Amino acid sequence: MPDASAHDSLGDEDLAAYRSVLEELRTELEHREALKREGADIPIGDITYGKQAGKGSGATERFEDVAIHGQVAQQLAAVEQALARIEAGEFGVCPGCNQAIPIDRLNIIPWAATCVSCA
């Protein structure tokens, strides 16, 4: 059971802000996942992955497509889990050590489930 005092370091406004960021990220990831299912290119950072990006064989391009789709799906699952932790009152608490996940870590990786030590 998470230490309630660790969770108290995040106020209602903080949780609302993280929820908003995570919901926006979920929307973007769902959009990318839909594009990938339709066979469209998916921009990741400054690199575009998909039909137009590959110069290799068809097998290599299919492998890249699967890898990118897997990354999007994995990221989406992590975001969904973070939103569930907010709803359960467990967001921002590391299940490994029951301590607060540092705010700096959550600001960089709002879906982080653990502190750095337990990661």
Q: What is the pLDDT of residue 73?
A: 86
Q: What is the pLDDT of residue 94?
A: 96
Task: List all residues 6 or more positions away from 91 whose beta carbon is below 8 Å from its beta carbon.
Answer: 7, 10, 15, 18, 82, 85
Domains and CATH numbers, the chain: 4-108 (1.20.120.910)
Q: What is the pLDDT of residue 5?
A: 41
pLDDT averaged over consecutive 10-residue blocks of the chain (119 residues)? 51 94 92 82 50 44 58 90 96 95 94 94
pTM value is 0.71
Selection from 68, 72, 75 nearest residue 111 by Cα = 75
Q: What is the pLDDT of residue 35?
A: 84
